[in-house]
Amino acid sequence: MLDDKLRMSNMKLRFMWFLPLICSLSGFEQAPPSREYQLKAVFLFNFMQFVEWPGTVLEEQNTPITLGVLGEDPFGDILEETVSNELINGHPVVIKRFANVAEIDQCHLLFIAASEKERLPQTLDALKGRNTLTVGDLKDFAQSGGMIAFKMVQNKIKVQINLDMAREADLSISPKLLRLSQIVNTKRS
């Protein structure tokens, strides 16, 4: 009886040792997001607190604010962890992921992933006329017509804001956020 318990215990230990290997080989284990994207997730949440959308967009108190990711998601579960049980001016926050811009019906803040680099001009054109705050970390994102760009400068995340594009989308960005950002005022042609 004692031998059976020891044998079962050894089998469990071997299985526990093998489990991470099996999961990583089969693709079940997802690498955690980098520290950079953990910080960017917090930035995204804070951006939503410092932007005002037109009253018609968030008329009712229980209307959720949608934080979307377009393309290959670099955040993993960190966005859900960041906004879990949070409210922005009384509105719950929901996360949605989109494979292409045609899937987007309502999105208040859209992070455009690096995988969308080749389609960026078409994506920004498709979002024109919507009240969607566009955020990305692609090179020259703000100069290309995105509204908020992340830039890495000496291992620090810096923020650029294209005020022309934000105003065109009828979004008001708080002076508190503007003071901490580099302003880019270039309109797309």
Terminal CA-to-CA distance of the chain, rounded, Å? Answer: 80
pLDDT of residue 59: 74
Residue 140 and residue 120 in contact, taking contact as beta carbons nearer than 8 Å: no
Report the alpha-carbon angle 54-58-62, nearest 5. 165
Element (H, E) at 167: helix 163-168
87-88 and 109-112 as β-strands: parallel, antiparallel, unpaired? unpaired
Q: Given the structure tokens 């044998």, which residue do they identify?
A: 7
Grade residue 13 by pLDDT with cuts at 50, 70 and 90.
Answer: very low
Lowest-confidence segment of 13-22, 60-69, 145-154 by average pLDDT: 13-22
User: Which comes out higher in pLDDT, residue 185 or 93?
Assistant: 93
pLDDT of residue 120: 97
Closest CA to 43 of 111, 104, 98: 111
**Please, what is the average pLDDT of the chain?**
84
Grade residue 75 by pLDDT with cuts at 50, 70 and 90.
Answer: very high
